[in-house]
Every structure is written in structure tokens, then in C-alpha cells.
A and B are shown apart, each in its own frame.
Chain A
Amino acid sequence: MYDLLWLVPTFPFLGFLILAIFGKKIGKKLSAVVGVGSIGLSALITILIGIQFLTNPPEGHAFVQTLWTWIAADDFKVNIAFHLDALSMVFAFVVTFVGFWIHLYSTEYMADDEGFSRFFAYMNLFVGAMLMLVMGDNLLLLYLGWEGVGLCSYLLIGFWYRDPANGYAARKAFIVTRVGDAAMAVGLFMLFYSFNSLNIQEILSVAPHVWSPGNKLAVASTLLLLGGAVGKSAQLPLQVWLPDAMAGPTPTSALIHAATMVTAGVYLIARMNGIYLLAPLSMTAVAIVGAATLLVAGFAGMAQTDIKRVLAYSTVSQIGYMFLALGVGAWSAGVFHFMIHAFFKALLFLAAGAIILAQHHEQNMFKMGGLAKALPVTFWTFLIGSASLAALPLITAGFYSKDAIIWYAWSGPNGSIYLWMAAVFGAMVTAFYTFRMVFVTFFGEQKMEISHYPTWRVHIPLIALAFFALFGGFIELPGTLGHLTLFSDFMKSALPVVEGGHHEVSLEIFSQVLTAVLALVSIFVAYYLYLKNMQIVTNFTSTKFGHGLQQFLLSGLGFDWLYERLFIRPYVWLSRTNKRDFIDFFYVFLPWLARQFHYLFKYTQTGKVRRYVVGIVFGVLVSITIVVIL
């Protein structure tokens, strides 16, 4: 079964090729079959390999399949090779499995779009690139996939390219992530400089012998890799592109947010855990970036009116949790939250897409309302996703994954009480804006008639993902509640286990109860403010301070405003002042000088032979004089 590993990324690429070349000719029906089928086959093989991996793990819990040599120049050798271990297994599973449901859903969502086959071609390429990223056995192959998802995100965000605003959002996503990619490329150069190899396993095994803990090169290269991860995963300070990425079709948002793209940063840091452990400073940086991001994005999420932007900020915030977990050294907790997050975030986006489709493509949730009765399946699945996102205690998967992170933020090897406070506060904010969204969208009176009732192609993905969003968490229970460690046992072969820190049971219970109570309280506050007594909110936002605060949060805490003044305007000013190209003046001056000499000496060309003779005689005299004198 392991020998079929190469088929997993091959099917999506094949699907992309077929759709890109023949897409227009084969029509929508066949396009859908190819687009969904390729991912379906890929998911099927991944699951079969996964089952074998669980029952009959390969030697050393890792399987490497080398296909061919990509680049060989002297001692620089890069293979096209796939590395399968517990970490890439989990990622490949989520990418293909969640990706499959999103593709199935897209066949209905995009049914009336003229770019139907183009859409599926991009989506297949996206999944293929992401699989390349998570399964690549060396950093160059990883980087290829990394840039591949960047390209696909650009193509998909700007999918409806006739509207210039979409093209602008696409370019923003591409350019902002490019900032991080440049940092990452430099980080890769440093790694190659230190280890003379780009093979991930080789680097991880050699690193402790080459670098002592806290080595400057280790810190620099891990910080640069963090730069790449921050760009791709939309963390502070490069988070500005993700909310604008909502310009793309909704299934794209689901794919970007849940299965691919934004989780690439989490994967990169988890994958390079060995060198991060050698650079404690970088670990702290990862944790602080995560904690700051989860708070900033949480605050911004509280004031959004566009249902997709609420979800976008919640993604940024949840990935902040994953970074926090990685930063404090709770590797498997971060990956666990990634998996659960993929389920419920894909679910939320798909359900939001169904709502948008049912409401004449309206995205402002304050213009919706009362949809619970009209769209029961969408409502219940959306509620499950929201409960999971808000970490409703005991019954949802999100509770178990997020709770582990919150506890490790305090008790983990790098944890501190400040990180814990940020995480708890973030959980409270998350519960508030999530249920604000639920109450505003589904309760109250219905403001618009339903324009489209979803069919089975929407309902089945929703129900399947809702199942995992609800029960996926039961494979990993905290020590105080059953102590089940199926997931972390599985990850043990690929990621270091949590060591050090402290484990007071009473504190853990305190943390859990506090989180649970705060989540319930903020759900009640959301209920009270947005359903029971909306007057309070409207009164508050009509005051000057309230209005200012609302606008500030709505703009994502003014980061766009800040970057506009800090980077864009100086750059535009610089390019405008340098319109004439100052440096070019020097090179324009040289031909100018030559031309002036030309004009000057032109006067000596009179066409009179006698003058030329005089010139020659004069020249000879001067030459002779010089020779005689010297």
C-alpha cells in the first residue's frame, strides 16, 4: 500500500492537467467528475495508507518514496521524494479528506458559473501543491509546493477577475505572502550553508551535532522560517491579506482556511521542530506571535458585519492558537488543533456559503436573520461548527483541542501565565463573536426570502464535517477527563513529546472550568446583546467613542491603515519622485558628452584638403616636439 504514495499528489495534478487542457470541451458534468473524482481517489488512497499506517506502521514510523533525481549538481542533490510519517500523514489526510468534501460542495456552489472547469482546475492544483508541500522529503520540494499554493491562492482569490476589487485582493494576498516567502528563502539558504543538504530528516538529525542550543545561526534561520510561516499562515504582522482573501468564491475560502495554505506555516514549524528546539528565542517568538495574533484577530472579529470576514478573523485567531501551542513546545496539541480546526472551519465556511447562496449573495449578516427554520440542515451544522469554534465544553471537538493548548500555554516547557491569560481571554472573545454571528444570522425575524435551497451535494459535506467537528475531539482527552492519548501517541514518532513544565491537576481543572465558564458567559452575553436587547449595542455605537471603537475593530485594528502610511505611501512617493530615474542620469550623461564632442569636432571637417594638410603638419610637429623634449 505504501508504494501507492506517489499517486496521492499525482491524481490532483492529473485532474488539473485534464481540466486545464480539455476543460472547455468536456462540459460541466464531466469537469465535475474529473475535479471531484481526482481528489476523491487521492483521499481514498490516503485513508487506505492511513489505515495501514495505524495497523502496520513502517519501519521507524516513516516511509520514504524516492521517485527520481530532480537536481544533481556536484554535491547538491535534490530528489523528488515523498516522506510519510505521522505528521505528514495527518496533514495529507486533512488536505485530501476535507478537500474532497469542499470539492463535492463546489459542484453545487459553482454550478451556474461560466468558469466552472477553470475553478476545478485551480482547486485541484491547489490540493496537489499542498500535498507536495506536506509530503516533500526535502525543503526545496516543500518550497515548490509552498509557492504552488501561493500561486493558486492568487488565482482563486481573483477568480472573478472582472471586478477590479477581486484582482486587488488577489494581488494583496500574493504580495504580502511574498514578503514572508523571501524571508523563508533566505532561511533555506542558511540551512543549506550550515548542513550542505536540504533533506529535512538529514537536517533534523544532524542539527544537534552541528549547532549548540542557542546558536546564532540556528536562531536566525528559525526566525527567517518563522517569517515565511507568518506570511503564509496570516499571523501578525502579515495577517492583513486573509480578510481580503474573502473576495474569492466561498469554497475557495474554505479550502484556503481549513485544509490548505494557511496551515502551511503550522506544518513548517512543526516539521522543523528539531531546529526550533535548538533556538529557544525563536520558540518564544513563535508563542508570542501566536498569542498576539489570536487576541488581535479576536478583537477584529467582534465588530465585523460580513459573515465571511468574521470567519476569516476567526481563522487567523485559531491559527494563532496553533502557533502558541508550537511555541510553548506542545507540538502535538498544535497539530491536533489544526486537524479539528480544519473540520469545523471548513464546515463553517461551507455552511456560510450555503447561507450566502440562499440570500441572493448577500454577505452582510445584519441583513439576514431568522434562517434557522428555513434552512434546518445548514442551521444545525453551522451551530455545531460554531460550538466547536467557541469550544463549548465537553460536547465539541474544539473544546478538547483548544483546551489542551490553553493548558499547555501555562504548563508547557515554554509556557507562562501571561500566554495562558492571553489564550483564555482569546477563547472568551472567540465564543462571543462566534455566537454573535449565529444569533444575528439564524435568529430574529427573517429579512429576506430564500433564493436557493441547498441539495444533497451541499448537505452531505456539511453533515460529514459536522460529525468530525463534534466527535473528532474524543481521540484525545485531557488528563482530568478520561486521559485518552490516541492522537499524541500517534504523533509521538514524528514530534517530540511535551517535556518539562509543571502538571498540577488542581490548576488544570481550574483552567478548564474557567475556560468553560467564560465561554458560556460570553455566549450568554452575545445572546443578550444581539438577540434579547439589541438597543444596548446600537446605543453604544451611536456614541462617539463607541462608533470610533467599532470602526477601529471593523478595520482589523487599523493594520491596513498603518501599512498604507508606513509602506505604501512612502513607496509611492519615492517612485513618483524618482519618476525620472536619478541613477539613469549618469548613463544619459555619457552619450550626451560624446555627442557634444561630436558637435565640437564637426567644425574641423571642412572638406578643404589644404586645411587637412595643415592639421597633419601641425600634428607631426607636436609629436616630434614631444619626442625631442622627452
Chain B
Amino acid sequence: MIAISLNTGLIIASIMFFTGLIGVMIRKNIMFMLISIEIMLNAAGLAFVFAGAQHGQADGQIMFLFILTTAAAEVAVGLALIIQFYQKFKTLNSDAANNMRG
């Protein structure tokens, strides 16, 4: 098994996190925003796993399982909201839902 150093792992996790963050910020399509959020969550999970491996403990992987569960629940809610959104506005453009602006 090829050992990957913690440093490299965290850099990969960071790149993933910022990819997701930038995706949330620049995509208009609400579906892609949800996907970007999933990427950010998985980046955080990856960082946990790397940290757990570094210390030789299972905690990191347990934490990742938690994140997985949470993400599943979140996606369920998120997709339901997107369906409602689409039914109401007939589009997936998030900027369409600015009725409550000040």
C-alpha cells in the first residue's frame, strides 16, 4: 500500500472543499449548488479519514460514517425542496426565488 502523507491528503481535501465552495458561489442552477455542497461535505470527510489514519485510530472513519448519514438525510430534504422549487418557479435558477428581498 502506498503511504500518502497527511500533508498531501489535506491539500487534496482543501482543493475539494474550495472546488465545492466556488461551485456554490458561482453556479446558478440549484441542482449543481446541491452537488457542490455534497463535494464540500466529502472534503471534510476526507480530512477526517486522513487525520484518523495519521494517528492510527478509527475515530476518523467513524466520523466519516456520521457525515455520510447526515449527507444522505440532507440530500433527501434538499431534493424534496428542489422539486417544490421547480414546481413553483418552472426553473432551477436560484435567483428566481428572491421574492423576499428587502
> Once the chains are docked, how many angstroms separate the CA of A602 from the CA of B100?
12
- Are A605 and B28 interface neighbours, CB within 8 A? no
Question: CB-defined interface of A224-267 with B at 8 Å, one 1/0 digit per residue?
Answer: 00000000000000000000000000000000000000000000
- Are B26 and A610 interface neighbours, CB within 8 A? yes
Among residues of B, the one whose C-beta sits closest to the C-beta of A604 is B102
Residues of B within 8 A of A609 (CB): 33, 94, 97
Cβ of A603 within 8 Å of any chain B Cβ, yes or no, is yes
- Are B95 and A608 interface neighbours, CB within 8 A? yes
Cβ of A572 within 8 Å of any chain B Cβ, yes or no, is no
- Are B26 and A605 interface neighbours, CB within 8 A? no
> Once the chains are docked, how many angstroms separate the CA of A1 from the CA of B12?
111
Cβ of A606 within 8 Å of any chain B Cβ, yes or no, is yes
> Once the chains are docked, how many angstroms separate the CA of A606 from the CA of B96?
11
Among residues of A, the one whose C-beta sits closest to the C-beta of B26 is A610
Cβ of A614 within 8 Å of any chain B Cβ, yes or no, is yes
Cβ of B68 within 8 Å of any chain A Cβ, yes or no, is no
Given known pairs A613-B24, A613-B25, A614-B25, the reply for A607 and B33 (CB within 8 Å) is no
> Once the chains are docked, how many angstroms separate the CA of A609 from the CA of B81?
14
> Once the chains are docked, how many angstroms separate the CA of A607 from the CA of B99?
7
- Are B102 and A603 interface neighbours, CB within 8 A? yes
Task: Tally A-B pairs: CB < 8 A.
Answer: 33
Question: CB-defined interface of B1-29 with A at 8 Å, one 1/0 digit per residue?
Answer: 00000000000000000000100111110
Cβ of A464 within 8 Å of any chain B Cβ, yes or no, is no
- Are B98 and A606 interface neighbours, CB within 8 A? yes
Which of B24, B99, B100, B101 is A610 in contact with, Cβ under 8 Å? B24
Residues of A within 8 A of B95 (CB): 608, 610
Residues of A within 8 A of B26 (CB): 610
Residues of B within 8 A of A614 (CB): 25
- Are A607 and B24 interface neighbours, CB within 8 A? no
Cβ of A617 within 8 Å of any chain B Cβ, yes or no, is yes
> Once the chains are docked, how many angstroms separate the CA of A604 from the CA of B98?
12
Instruction: Please give the number of chain B residues whose Cβ is less than 8 angstroms from any Cβ of chain A in the complex.
Output: 15
Residues of B within 8 A of A606 (CB): 98, 101-102
> Once the chains are docked, how many angstroms separate the CA of A614 from the CA of B23?
11
Among residues of A, the one whose C-beta sits closest to the C-beta of B22 is A617
> Once the chains are docked, how many angstroms separate the CA of A608 from the CA of B95?
5
Question: CB-defined interface of A590-630 with B at 8 Å, one 1/0 digit per residue?
Answer: 00000000000011111111100110010000000000000
Residues of A within 8 A of B27 (CB): 610
Give A558-615 interface residues, CB cut-off 8 Å to B. Answer: 602-610, 613-614
> Once the chains are docked, how many angstroms separate the CA of A617 from the CA of B102?
21
Residues of A within 8 A of B99 (CB): 607
Interface size class of A (residues with CB under 8 A): 10 to 19
> Once the chains are docked, how many angstroms separate the CA of A606 from the CA of B100?
8
How many whole Å from B70's CB to the nearest CB in chain A?
Answer: 19
Question: CB-defined interface of B62-100 with A at 8 Å, one 1/0 digit per residue?
Answer: 000000000000000000000000000000001101111
Question: CB-defined interface of B23-40 with A at 8 Å, one 1/0 digit per residue?
Answer: 011111000010000000
- Are B101 and A607 interface neighbours, CB within 8 A? yes
How many whole Å from A71's CB to the nearest CB in chain B?
Answer: 59
Residues of B within 8 A of A607 (CB): 97-101
> Once the chains are docked, how many angstroms separate the CA of A602 from the CA of B99?
14
> Once the chains are docked, how many angstroms separate the CA of A617 from the CA of B23?
13
How many whole Å from B22's CB to the nearest CB in chain A?
Answer: 9
> Once the chains are docked, how many angstroms separate the CA of A613 from the CA of B33?
11
- Are A610 and B21 interface neighbours, CB within 8 A? no
Given known pairs A602-B102, A607-B100, the reply for A617 and B25 (CB within 8 Å) is yes
How many whole Å from B97's CB to the nearest CB in chain A?
Answer: 7
- Are A610 and B25 interface neighbours, CB within 8 A? yes
Residues of B within 8 A of A602 (CB): 102
How many whole Å from A595's CB to the nearest CB in chain B?
Answer: 14
Residues of B within 8 A of A617 (CB): 21, 25
How many whole Å from B24's CB to the nearest CB in chain A?
Answer: 5
Among residues of A, the one whose C-beta sits closest to the C-beta of B36 is A613
- Are B25 and A608 interface neighbours, CB within 8 A? no
Residues of A within 8 A of B21 (CB): 617
Given known pairs A602-B102, A603-B102, the reply for A608 and B94 (CB within 8 Å) is yes
- Are A610 and B102 interface neighbours, CB within 8 A? no
How many whole Å from A229's CB to the nearest CB in chain B?
Answer: 68
Residues of B within 8 A of A613 (CB): 24-25
How many whole Å from B77's CB to the nearest CB in chain A?
Answer: 16
Among residues of A, the one whose C-beta sits closest to the C-beta of B28 is A610
Name the residue among A604, A607, A617 with the largest chain B CB count within 10 angstroms. A607
> Once the chains are docked, how many angstroms separate the CA of A366 from the CA of B68?
113
How many whole Å from B15's CB to the nearest CB in chain A?
Answer: 16
Residues of B within 8 A of A605 (CB): 101-102
> Once the chains are docked, how many angstroms separate the CA of A617 from the CA of B28?
17
How many whole Å from B35's CB to the nearest CB in chain A?
Answer: 14
Residues of A within 8 A of B24 (CB): 610, 613
How many whole Å from A124's CB to the nearest CB in chain B?
Answer: 69
Among residues of B, the one whose C-beta sits closest to the C-beta of A614 is B25
Among residues of A, the one whose C-beta sits closest to the C-beta of B24 is A613
Residues of A within 8 A of B28 (CB): 610
Among residues of A, the one whose C-beta sits closest to the C-beta of B100 is A607
> Once the chains are docked, how many angstroms separate the CA of A605 from the CA of B101?
5
Among residues of A, the one whose C-beta sits closest to the C-beta of B102 is A605
> Once the chains are docked, how many angstroms separate the CA of A549 from the CA of B28?
97
How many whole Å from A222's CB to the nearest CB in chain B?
Answer: 69
Among residues of B, the one whose C-beta sits closest to the C-beta of A606 is B101
How many whole Å from A503's CB to the nearest CB in chain B?
Answer: 95
How many whole Å from B57's CB to the nearest CB in chain A?
Answer: 27
How many whole Å from A339's CB to the nearest CB in chain B?
Answer: 83
Among residues of A, the one whose C-beta sits closest to the C-beta of B30 is A609
Residues of B within 8 A of A604 (CB): 102
Among residues of A, the one whose C-beta sits closest to the C-beta of B99 is A607
> Once the chains are docked, how many angstroms separate the CA of A552 from the CA of B28?
92
How many whole Å from A615's CB to the nearest CB in chain B?
Answer: 10
How many whole Å from B82's CB to the nearest CB in chain A?
Answer: 12
> Once the chains are docked, how many angstroms separate the CA of A454 from the CA of B28?
105
> Once the chains are docked, how many angstroms separate the CA of A563 from the CA of B10?
89
Residues of A within 8 A of B102 (CB): 602-606
Question: Sorted from nearest, which 8 A-B pairs have the closest CB atoms?
Answer: A607-B98, A605-B102, A607-B101, A602-B102, A609-B94, A606-B101, A608-B95, A613-B24
7 other A-B residue contacts (CB within 8 Å) besides A608-B94, A608-B101: A602-B102, A603-B102, A606-B98, A606-B101, A607-B97, A613-B25, A614-B25
Q: Could you show 8 A-B contacts with beta carbons less than 8 Å apart?
A: A602-B102, A605-B101, A608-B98, A610-B94, A613-B24, A613-B25, A614-B25, A617-B21
